[in-house]
Structure 1
Amino acid sequence: MTHTEAFAGHRRLALVYRGPASQPGCPEAVAGLLASARWNLDVRFTGPDEALPLTARTLSHAALYAQPGGGTLSSAYRRLRRQRRAVRDFVHRGGSYLGFCLGGYLAGATPGFGLLPGDTDQYISSPGATVHDERDTVIQVTWRGRPRTVFFQDGPLFVLDENADARILATYDNGAAAALVTRYGHGRVAVTGPHPEATADWYTDHGLPIQHTLDLAEELVEAVMRE
């Protein structure tokens, strides 16, 4: 099968990173979210050990690239820095970038792909934060005016430049941006610090009360896929 034949079909291609810059369960949760029939997406994994490598050529066939949660930003960026230009070009030309937790950090600039009108920082280190360590827990955010409890593990906050053209979807309880959608070139970027895509086992594995937040994750996808 040729590279072109691999992408034949009428559904738009959504690529989800899976590899050493992610953690088991994170890519699968994002892929499960995107597999909903409502978006008619052909969801495939991409990464160094996947059938589809993360390259400019692979991205040229995609409508959306999703970067799930993972380990530390410094380690992840070392593994992904060679793909920085390919990801930036993909979004600038009209693609969609969807980032969850680590994927939100990687959308920033220090270090990262540089897709945001601003940068990221650790919520747990910010003034007024209600979580102060890297444990898996839940956190309360205000999502489009509604208080919601969401799975959280050392996610970013987003620091926007003055007069940045971005729509904040959620804030932490200290007022910092927790989720937003913005443009980069001709494309869209949607990022979140907490994990609205978390499945029930994420909670039960850590003795946490299960929260049903898939509707928030779907709002994030809707925001980044909107034409």
Structure 2
Amino acid sequence: MARKADLRTGSAGARPVAVVYSDDSTGPADGDDTAAVAAMLTAAQGWNFDVITAGPNGTMSVRKALKQPGVRLYAQPGADGDDHAAYKRQKRDKAAIREFVHDGGRYLGICMGGFLAEPCFFNLFRGRVEEYYSSSGASVRTSDPAVIPIIWRGTTRQMYFQDGGFMIPKRSTSVTVLATYSNGSIAALVAPRGRGKVGLCGPHPEAPPDWYHEANLVYSGPTQDLGDDLVNALMAP
């Protein structure tokens, strides 16, 4: 496993590269999830990522992108539709994503990206990811955009949420829980996988102000610091 200092640089001391998936389902009709995650990673404190996009609307295929020098992180953002449809669009990328993580890379899955980490899809997370809004004691009862309370490392924060999941790791899996929903279920975690790690988050730390305004929600301030914490935990050796 590379040391943390090594993860902060690419080959020959270049900037580390983060790849963000992009297709029609992650574009403007869904709040431009790709752009929001790319912006969060670009701003991630202390990392200085060179962010590139991959997929049908990206600069290259996912498989080609993950072979580029200096790639340290692959991010799967939110998307339109259900998880089975999302996986169908990306089934051809599964082997490359799994190989990248098992060889020491990091997978960041937000909202839909969390569901796709399940064993029946990319098979990166030892456990299940279930729909939060239909769970017992959930603070929201529809899949519509909402601002909900998230307990992040012991402090309650208001976060943008839209039909994200909660994580149920297998009992034998060692995980770092970063955040929970108000009903106690896991909202964000980091778990090992092979020589790499997987970071999953149901709510959206990357959500910009216009997401709130377009949904007529009260903007409670930026949550970039929570995104930074998620990235730091995911990238740690």
Normalised to the residue count of structure 1, the TM-score between the two structures is: 0.92
Q: Does 1:48 align with 2:56?
A: yes
Secondary structure of 1:38's aligned partner: coil
Distance 1:87 1:153 in 2: 25
Partner of 1:132: 141
Partner of 1:13: 17
Q: Which deviations, in whole Å up to 9, do the C-alpha atoms of 1:36-83 show, x marking residues without a partner?
A: 26212111010123221111x421222110011111212111101111
After superposition, the Cα gap between the structure-2 partners of 1:20 and 1:75, relative to the gap in structure 1 and judged at 3 Å, is: farther
Question: Could you tell me which amino acid in structure 1 is paired with residue 202 of structure 2?
Answer: G
Secondary structure of 1:129's aligned partner: coil
Contact 1:21–1:75 (Cα < 8 Å) also in 2: no
Unaligned runs of 5+ in 2: 1-10
Distance 1:164 1:125 in 2: 25
Distance 1:49 1:147 in 2: 36
Q: Does 1:79 align with 2:89?
A: yes
Distance 1:107 1:129 in 2: 22
Distance 1:108 1:168 in 2: 17
Distance 2:48 2:227 in 1: 16
Q: Which deviations, in whole Å up to 9, do the C-alpha atoms of 1:153-179 show, x marking residues without a partner?
A: 000010111132101111111111100
Q: Does 1:210 align with 2:219?
A: yes
Partner of 1:158: 167
Seq. identity, %: 42
Distance 1:52 1:9 in 2: 23
User: Displacement of 1:117 after TM fit?
Assistant: 1.8
Partner of 1:146: 155
Contact 1:46–1:53 (Cα < 8 Å) also in 2: yes
Contact 1:20–1:76 (Cα < 8 Å) also in 2: no
Contact 1:115–1:184 (Cα < 8 Å) also in 2: yes
Contact 1:21–1:80 (Cα < 8 Å) also in 2: no
Contact 1:117–1:165 (Cα < 8 Å) also in 2: no
Match of 2:79 among 70, 84, 89: 70
Unaligned runs of 5+ in 1: 1-6
Question: Could you tell me which amino acid in structure 1 is paired with residue 118 of structure 2?
Answer: G
Q: Which deviates more, 36-45 or 172-181?
A: 36-45
Q: Does 1:99 align with 2:99?
A: no
User: Displacement of 1:119 after TM fit?
Assistant: 1.4
User: Displacement of 1:10 after TM fit?
Assistant: 1.0
Match of 2:41 among 30, 34, 37: 34
CA RMSD of aligned residues (A): 1.6
Secondary structure of 2:24's aligned partner: coil
Secondary structure of 1:221's aligned partner: helix
Distance 2:57 2:171 in 1: 41
Contact 1:13–1:44 (Cα < 8 Å) also in 2: yes
Distance 2:138 2:51 in 1: 36
